[in-house]
Amino acid sequence: MTSRDGFTWTHASGLTAGVPSIGVIDPPTNVPNSDASYDVIVVGAGYCGLTAARNAAAEGLKVLLLEGRDRIGGRSWSSNIGGYPFEMGGTWVHWGQSNTWREMTRYQMMNEVERSFDFSHGVNHYELNITKQGYTMSHEKEDELLISALNKFTNIDGVYGRDTIPLPYDTFHTAAAKDLDNLSAQDRINSIAPSLSPQERAALESFVLLCSGATLITTSFHEFMHWWAMCGYTYAGCIDMLISWKFKNGQSSFAIRFFQEALATKRLAYAFNTPVNHIRDIGAAVEITTRAGTRYTAARLICTVPLNVLGDVTFDPHLSASKRAAIATGHVNQCVKVHAELANRDLRSWTGVAYPHNELMYAIGDGTTPAGNTHVVCFGGGNKPIDPEVDIDATKRAVSNMFAQQDETPQIERLVFHNWSNDEFAKGAWFFPAPGLLANHLEDMRERHGNVLFASSDWALGWRSFIDGAIEEGTRVAYEVGKELVELRNVKG
């Protein structure tokens, strides 16, 4: 099945909208009519919504899952082109992300992973291109450069954040941690700038922007430190947990397991291509109205809509002023992720940075396609925004510019991407906050609204913005709803 999401480009076909994915659901609905009653409605079929729907159905609740897209996965899904998976959003998994690995164990998928990068053959080097000045070095030197820069950046307390953020799941466990959220990444870089070489600064800034997908001024220094803490306060931990392991058959091969298990309970109804417009809490129940005007009712509603899209849904009664303020602020990640299939198998062991002059600033060899070409995944961000489908020639140039130090720019055979900034159900990539958002509004984002519960990786406590955080949140709200409804049944019974 082909999703309407995503784009591909090849010499033969040109730019084409829509890519095939095993995450596309057919038939798109199994709802017999809108008069059916439900225990809980779940809005959104990303990992958070899938977890909540599956857990609630497994606990005996009658569930309706509504999704605006034609597929599952939300901001984490994979295409399948010629038998090869290109990850369109969230990609990497690790046993240090305990919620994710627990689910992989549940579905016996622990061995269905492979290394993302492979430095065992090929060019086996790192290119650092700072405007017109280029440096080529070994991956060992790359690591030394980033370790030196990141240690200077993160050493806020003499122990690289361990005292300031000792318990990452308790986001503001110390007062000093809350103070960090008033600082931007630019503020921190300015304070250590005299200690950084030009190479260290370029490598550091591009790494930080790779995480945030924003600008240095709009990147919360605290949130970067939270990622750092979750990764064990080391560069090696970041590389290991954030970008080392991925599913052999793509993220959609994982997400479909959640959906299939929920469906097998015979207590899951679903409707895809069904955006939600309005949510009304009528006291004894919640009534939801879709964009097409259809209404559904349940005792509870779980809303997993991302922060940047939540303002498109109206609520009756109105949400609290503090929650509305968080929604109005939104998050800042406008990362662009472009997959390039390149006619050079030796690039499998290549990594590169082109910063700050290029629309794509970081890239890594991520696989070998069935045709024997190298799959390179490239990232850009808020520093030099780009809409890759608007000018495909500019996108190709941005990919080619990553290889300024190569003797010959590799031929681009294929491009694959999803423009998250122009996606009406995302309006940005993974969550990353500007300074102050979490300190002022983390609890506001998490608070429930009567019979409506809000769950999203955007306000998870642990691996916030990751697949693991989505599963964490889906588990939390499903447990809360299940407990309430079981107790309610016991009272009535």
Distance CA 208, CA 188 (A): 11
The residues, ordered by sequence, that sit 6+ positions from 73 with a Cβ below 8 Å of its Cβ are 23, 45, 46, 47, 89, 251, 252, 255
Distance CA 251, CA 22 (A): 10
SS3 state of residue 429? coil
Cβ(354)–Cβ(130) below 8 Å: no
Question: Hey, what are 12's tokens?
Answer: 């033969």
Distance CA 6, CA 86 (A): 11
CB-count exposure of residue 133 (10 Å: 0-12, 13-18, 19+): exposed
Q: Is the bond into 168 cis (omega within 30 degrees of 0)?
A: no
Helix (H) or strand (E) holding 468: helix 467-492
Distance CA 466, CA 261 (A): 22
Alpha-carbon Rg for the chain, nearest whole angstrom, is 22
Helix (H) or strand (E) holding 252: helix 252-264
Strand pairing category for 37-43 and 268-271: unpaired
- 372: left (phi > 0), else alpha (psi -120 to 50), else beta? left
Q: Residue 339 pairs with which residues in a beta bridge?
A: 377, 416
Nearest C-alpha neighbor of 390 from the set 422, 367, 345: 422
Is 276 annotated to bind a ligand? Reply is: yes
Question: Hey, what are 42's tokens?
Answer: 């779940």
Q: What DSSP assignment string belongs to 302-343? A: EE---HHHHTTSEEESPPPHHHHHHHHH------EEEEEEES
Is 379 annotated to bind a ligand? Reply is: yes
Binding-site annotation: residue ranges: 276, 379
Binding-site annotation: residue ranges for substrate: 379
